[in-house]
Structure 1
Amino acid sequence: MSKNFEILNKEINENNIIANLFIFPFAGGGVSAFRKWKDEFEDIKLLVAQYPGRENRFSENAISDINILVDSLFEDMKESFDFRKPYYLFGHSMGTKIVYEIALKIKNSRYANPRGIIISGGRAPMYKEPNPIYHLDDDGFIEGLRRYEGTPKEILDNKDLISIFLPTLRADFVIDEDYQDTKFEKLESPILGLMGDKDQEMTLDELIKWQDYTTKEFTYRYIDGKHMFVNTSPESVIKEIKEFIKVNEN
């Protein structure tokens, strides 16, 4: 599609597609975190955002300004995607902030709103991260990364290896932890919230507050796992996404 997005299931039969799903990864994450999903969606096209500074875009500088990143992603979507087709937005953790900002841009443009939005492991935009780590020294930051369990242990335990990834991880965590919405602008799409039943990084109240950010229906589901349940219980996340899309497309 573009350098900002990769279509996972390129071999999908276009005639069978009922919807398109844009996926926005968590801090430090990229397309590879969702690559195994491609075999689970027979009639939903998967378009995963690849932020600069990782995987096949490793040579590019990571972006620590959410406005710059969102502008770049939205420009690519406008150039490459037909918004008249049914589509959904999914984001996990940091990705939920990006989803909200992109959905606002879509709402305030001439394009059709998403048929639905899936908020996975993300507190409502009004809440700022209460225990940020992006400003800590390297040792403190790395310990904070261990708490989130989103970065492989073999990378965290290898000083030479983690030093390569630190700039990108810090940039992502600046976006994730420094973000706070103060305008309370509502979206015009139904929202499904997903939260790990053992998540200690956020509260259920912070998830439920998303109901104040939409003019449509808000529902939520618990998923087995901690904050990174998207990695540890992907089959449950996929099941909820499929059901949400099928309900909205019927």
Structure 2
Amino acid sequence: MEPPTTLVCLPYAGSGASFFREWQGFAPRGLKILPVQLPGREERFAEALVTTVAQAVNDLVPRVLPAGRGASRVAIFGHSLGAVLAFELAHRLTAEGGVPLKRLFVSGSPGPATVREIRASSLADAQFLGQVNDLAGYSHPALENPELRELLLPVLRADVEMHENYRPPPHPPLDVPITALRGREDHLVSAAAVAEWATSTTAATSVLEVDGGHMYLTEHPHALVRLLAAQLSEPDLR
């Protein structure tokens, strides 16, 4: 039997690790889902939020390294903000060594060099939420509840600020295959923008489109997990 693959899953803006926990039920044998929590949300609610990608990755590395070094194969998945975090985490894990990183999945995101032109982080709450909802084409149901909105809004603001202010360091290209995904109806991230990820690695890059808009992963998680598993079953192309 082929040894299991660990899929590290990183949150999109405003979300937590709980979003990915049901994915294990969709995963075929041999695929272990490892959601990773950032500070300030869910069971880490009491911790201070981070507002830069560098801070977030500094927090992620010691949480991922032990599991990564103990795995036979590792992949990383991130959507939108999570794609940026996944990219930077891949660079850090490669630099640390000892992690058998086999593939990077980046979803709903242009290549890392693209600067976000539409900014929302400085807007008042109502305008901020309206802008974010318009961009994503999706609103978390909890934001309709005033008490839950009060808890979730600081997390969403910190994440949007993190994403808006991100500028990639002058990395050399990764030597890891990249699969870049987008929803066919995504009005925020075009097919050409997703294809920009090819310049981030010297290995093979696949660009895949799936049904849905920018937040397609909230609609068809089971189909997405099967797609990721199929990609991981393919031979490594470098």
TM over 0.5: yes
Contact 1:21 1:44 in 2 (8 A): yes
**Residues 1:110 and 2:97 aligned together:** yes
Q: Tell me which residue corresponds to 1:27.
A: 13
Q: Tell me which residue corresponds to 2:31.
A: 44
Structure 2 SS opposite 1:248: coil
Contact 2:68 2:99 in 1 (8 A): no
Contact 1:197 1:226 in 2 (8 A): yes
Cα distance in structure 1, aligned partners of 2:49 and 2:123: 18
**Residues 1:133 and 2:120 aligned together:** yes
**TM-score for both structures, normalised by structure 1:** 0.87
Equivalent pairs, count: 235
RMSD of equivalent CA atoms: 2.0
Q: Tell me which residue corresponds to 1:152.
A: 140
Give the Å deviation of 1:198: 0.5
Contact 2:80 2:107 in 1 (8 A): yes
**Residues 1:233 and 2:220 aligned together:** yes
Cα distance in structure 2, aligned partners of 1:34 and 1:84: 19
For 1:32, the aligned partner's letter is: S
Matches within 5 A, 1:218-229: 218-229=205-216
Q: What stretches of structure 1 move > 4 A for 4+ residues in a row?
A: none
Q: Tell me which residue corresponds to 1:66.
A: 53
Of 28-37 and 192-201, the range deviating more from structure 2: 28-37
**Residues 1:215 and 2:184 aligned together:** no
Q: Tell me which residue corresponds to 1:191.
A: 178
Structure 1 SS opposite 2:172: coil
Structure 1 SS opposite 2:234: helix
Structure 1 SS opposite 2:88: helix
Contact 1:113 1:188 in 2 (8 A): no
Give the Å deviation of 1:80: 4.3
User: In structure 2, do the counterparts of structure 1 residues 115 and 81 end up closer, same or farther at CA, with 3 Å as the change threshold?
Assistant: closer
Cα distance in structure 2, aligned partners of 1:151 and 1:176: 18
For 2:130, the aligned partner's letter is: E
Contact 1:116 1:248 in 2 (8 A): no
Deviations 1:125-178 (A, max 9, x none): 00011212112111111112322245424x333333312211111111111222
Q: Tell me which residue corresponds to 2:152.
A: 165
Gaps of 5+ in 2: none
Contact 2:74 2:99 in 1 (8 A): no
**Residues 1:174 and 2:161 aligned together:** yes
Give the Å deviation of 1:89: 0.7
Q: Tell me which residue corresponds to 1:86.
A: 73
Contact 2:14 2:159 in 1 (8 A): yes
Deviations 1:181-211 (A, max 9, x none): 2525311111111100000111111110100
Cα distance in structure 1, aligned partners of 2:210 and 2:125: 32
Of 217-226 and 51-60, the range deviating more from structure 2: 51-60
Cα distance in structure 2, aligned partners of 1:81 and 1:114: 8
Gaps of 5+ in 1: 1-14
